Structure 1
Amino acid sequence: MTSGNAQISKRILSIDILRGLVMIIMALDHTRDFFHIEAMTGDPLNPDTTTAMLFFTRFITHFCAPTFVFLSGLSAYLSAQNKTPAEASTFLLKRGLWLVVVEIVIISFGLTFNPLYNFVILQVIWAIGFSMVFLALFSRISYRTVLVIGIILVLGHNIFDLFPAPNDPTGGLILKVFFTASGTVVPLGANHFVGVFYAILPWTGIMFLGYGAGKWFGKDYDPKKRKTNLLNFGAIALILFVGLRIAGIYGDPAPRKEYQDVFKNLLSFFNVSKYPPSLQYTCLTIGVALVLLAISEKFKNKFTKVLSVYGSVPFFYYVIHFYLLHTILVIVFFLSGYTSKDIYSVPFLFRPTQFGFDLWGVYLIWIVMVLALYYPCKWFKKYKETHSKWWLRYV
């Protein structure tokens, strides 16, 4: 293997390591949703009511979605290097639309286990899908166009927090879907609803920034300069987060609260808004991601090898983990003494409001679930490496 190929291998490994790490942590929050006794009734990030461990359990998962979206943009750039602009754009368009369908049909069912689709949940895959559609369009113009739009979206979308929402219902809904959604429920009839939890364009901005960073990972790019760039921009993002958080003027729709208690003040400082991803939230999470991406190039051990397995098949892992978690939920539901008359609940079937375990139970189920998916992920990784079927590009 040439030194150039070795660099490419190391580069891709560093991406898979970080992606695998966030995929594993992400599953902790979904496990909490299904199994924590207070998941349906409390806010784990509210300094007034939370505990240190509960806050940490929710807060650590804040880093997952933006890192995954950023890496999706980075991977899109790398993939495009082996295609003509037209081929790359067409692939992004088709994959983006496919992901939207997956969110509606496959992920929503995995979350709810409701075959009637009374409640369709639109989350990160929906946002990634539409972001890829926009990336397909703007990447045809130029790399610089994508980067500039990404910067504008990330820095500027919180400007809508400063103005009242439109009185026009249609205009208000469009604004929520594309910019401000934090749990918008849209009725499609008496018994069918769509929950828009991820506003599209703030996440599009993060993906576009990932696409912009892809140039640093080109095969002819100096690895030392790449690491310097990642560390410098990571530090700038983190400094900007601290500055904006202290100023409290712009960058988050929920201003930081002041408490007499030092511990509550600390929690409040880091209680940034994810829905939609505020500028402060993005600076914090992507800042940390850039630093981790820089230092992970030097990591090569058994643990990082395990992480890279999960990170190399993220779509497979993401879909399967919902179905595995919900299947475990059904088993625990009946073992807990519930019957068929208790099945219906919103938004997840088999998940009554007063149900679940303390955090120790959540962590135990999370660990078991992650370990159970290791060998299936390892098998699928090898399958993808040894097969060239067209549909593998979409999973």
Structure 2
Amino acid sequence: MNTTTSKRITSIDMLRGLVMVLMALDHVRDYFNYDAFLFDPTDLTKTTGALFITRFLTHFCATVFVFLAGTSAFFVGQRRDKKSLSVWLLKRGIWLVIVEFTIIKLAWFFKLDYSVVLFMVIWILGLSMILLAGFIHLPKKLMILLSVLVIVGHNAFDAFTPEGPIMSGLWIFLHEFGMVTIGNIDAHVAYPILPWVFVMPLGYYFGELYKPGVDSAFRVKRLWLLGISITLAFFILRFINIYGDPYFWSSQKSFGFTVMSFFNLTKYPPSLMYLLITLGPSIIFLALTEKWRGPFFDKLITIGRVPMFFYIIHIYIIHLLALIAAVFTGFKASDMVIDFWVNEQPELQGYGFNLWVVYLIWILLIIALYPVCSRFNKYKSNNRDKWWLSYF
């Protein structure tokens, strides 16, 4: 493996590892924070600065997952022809959709009851890969232009409300956070199709900066330029306050809450502002970490190399620990068998802990999970002949 490729994998895996760790913080908050059962941490009438920042930091996760999944597909494509890459993307996309509605559903709910189905981040990752299998055959410039147009322009349709149950249901799957009833199934769409599926193609072509022939110094300059430009675009457009998010920011009761209003962005579906402020700094992070090394960074890299494995086991462990915590605080184990989402489980009203406890559990969780991830990473590296490992 040449030096350029090694650096490419190191910095990207470091970013992926970082967002995996931040994602775990959000899920620990969901299952352990007392306030999570009372109000949304972005509700400026009820939240605190610490809660808001905790939630905001985790906003980077979904964007980086989808974007870097496209970049990883580009790396795979360097060893395959496009037809072979399309087959690879289709297989993994279908696998991710199946995992969302089986293994991961069981982790969130602790039961497999299909009267309620959640369309979450793994579903949109899978669908994006399935569509990317076709997108890679379109001309590069056309695909980039189309992706940018959808990402920039989709907020123009925020107020659009189609008539009729069929069209309304299709619109929810396409571009709206909501529920669609299909027979006896309530499909809750947290991650609609647009604009997510157009984030991945941008990540795919972003991978060209990491081709073996690209000089490291040149790549870093491009990363700085791209990252700063996207971040500045966020601040300029958000300050103007006329487009890019369904909710405008406004002056609040204090400077701190006004800042929170400025950064209070829509994730479901992701607004243009949300994508700009999560993509821009993430690319800047890649510029900064091009040559970073050290024990702490190596641990992030290890986690970043086994993202699916980490994702699956961390939900099961968090849910199991929450069940134990609930029992020890006077609730029944059955209260942690979830009907829809843990924060909306009626039996759990009054359950939960202060935010500092959430951070303590999160830190201990990451410390405990690291050696498990390290062993699995080594197992994958030493058993490349086992095809099934590539799906984790």
Whether 2:56 is the aligned partner of 1:59: answer yes
Counterparts of 1:93 and 1:288, CA distance in 2: 30
Long gaps (5+) in structure 1:
none
Offset at 1:188? 4.0
Counterparts of 2:334 and 2:322, CA distance in 1: 16
Q: Which residue of 2 aligns with 1:19?
A: 16
Counterparts of 1:318 and 1:312, CA distance in 2: 12
Q: Which residue of 2 aligns with 1:112?
A: 109
Deviations 1:269-327 (A, max 9, x none): 11111111110111111000000011111210111001001000000000110001111
Q: Which residue of 2 aligns with 1:87?
A: 84
Counterparts of 2:334 and 2:271, CA distance in 1: 41
Whether 2:328 is the aligned partner of 1:332: answer no
Whether 2:371 is the aligned partner of 1:375: answer yes
Q: Which residue of 1 aligns with 2:359?
A: 363
Offset at 1:80? 0.6
Counterparts of 1:344 and 1:6, CA distance in 2: 49
Code of the residue aligned with 1:361 in structure 2: it is V
Counterparts of 1:14 and 1:121, CA distance in 2: 32
Q: Which residue of 1 aligns with 2:211?
A: 218
Whether 2:135 is the aligned partner of 1:142: answer no
Q: TM-score, normalised by structure 2?
A: 0.95
Whether 2:297 is the aligned partner of 1:292: answer no
Offset at 1:211? 0.8
Offset at 1:6? 1.3
Using the TM superposition, name which of 52-61 and 118-127 deviates more.
118-127
Deviations 1:227-252 (A, max 9, x none): 11111111111111111111111110
Q: Which residue of 2 aligns with 1:41?
A: 38
Match of 1:354 among 331, 338, 350: 350
Match of 1:131 among 111, 128, 133: 128
Code of the residue aligned with 2:366 in structure 1: it is V
Q: Which residue of 2 aligns with 1:384?
A: 380
**Superposition CA RMSD, Å:** 1.7
Code of the residue aligned with 1:35 in structure 2: it is F
Code of the residue aligned with 1:95 in structure 2: it is R
CA contact (8 A) 1:135 1:146 kept: no
Match of 1:322 among 296, 310, 315: 315
CA contact (8 A) 2:172 2:180 kept: no
Code of the residue aligned with 1:10 in structure 2: it is K
Identity of aligned residues (%): 40
Counterparts of 2:142 and 2:36, CA distance in 1: 41
CA contact (8 A) 1:108 1:122 kept: no
Counterparts of 2:231 and 2:302, CA distance in 1: 29
CA contact (8 A) 2:172 2:179 kept: no
Offset at 1:341? 6.2
Long gaps (5+) in structure 2:
none
Match of 2:248 among 243, 255, 259: 255
Offset at 1:344? 5.2
Q: Which residue of 1 aligns with 2:268?
A: 275
Offset at 1:348? 4.3
Using the TM superposition, name which of 295-304 and 254-263 deviates more.
254-263
Deviations 1:82-106 (A, max 9, x none): 0011000111011111101111111
Whether 2:170 is the aligned partner of 1:177: answer no
Offset at 1:67? 1.2
Give 3-state SS (helix, strand or coil) of 2:163's partner.
Answer: coil
- Counting matched residue pairs gives 388
Q: Which residue of 2 aligns with 1:6?
A: 3
Q: Aligned in 2, Cα 1:340/1:240: closer, same or farther, shift over 3 Å?
A: closer
Q: Aligned in 2, Cα 1:96/1:305: closer, same or farther, shift over 3 Å?
A: same
Offset at 1:255? 1.5
Give 3-state SS (helix, strand or coil) of 1:185's partner.
Answer: strand
Q: Aligned in 2, Cα 1:376/1:343: closer, same or farther, shift over 3 Å?
A: closer
Counterparts of 1:43 and 1:302, CA distance in 2: 36
Code of the residue aligned with 1:186 in structure 2: it is V
Counterparts of 1:361 and 1:154, CA distance in 2: 38
Counterparts of 1:251 and 1:306, CA distance in 2: 36
Deviations 1:193-246 (A, max 9, x none): 221101122111221111121111111112222111111111111111111111
CA contact (8 A) 1:147 1:211 kept: no
Code of the residue aligned with 1:114 in structure 2: it is K
- Give matches, 1:177-256, under 5 Å: 177-181=173-177, 184-189=178-183, 192-256=185-249
Give 3-state SS (helix, strand or coil) of 2:29's partner.
Answer: helix
Give 3-state SS (helix, strand or coil) of 1:156's partner.
Answer: helix
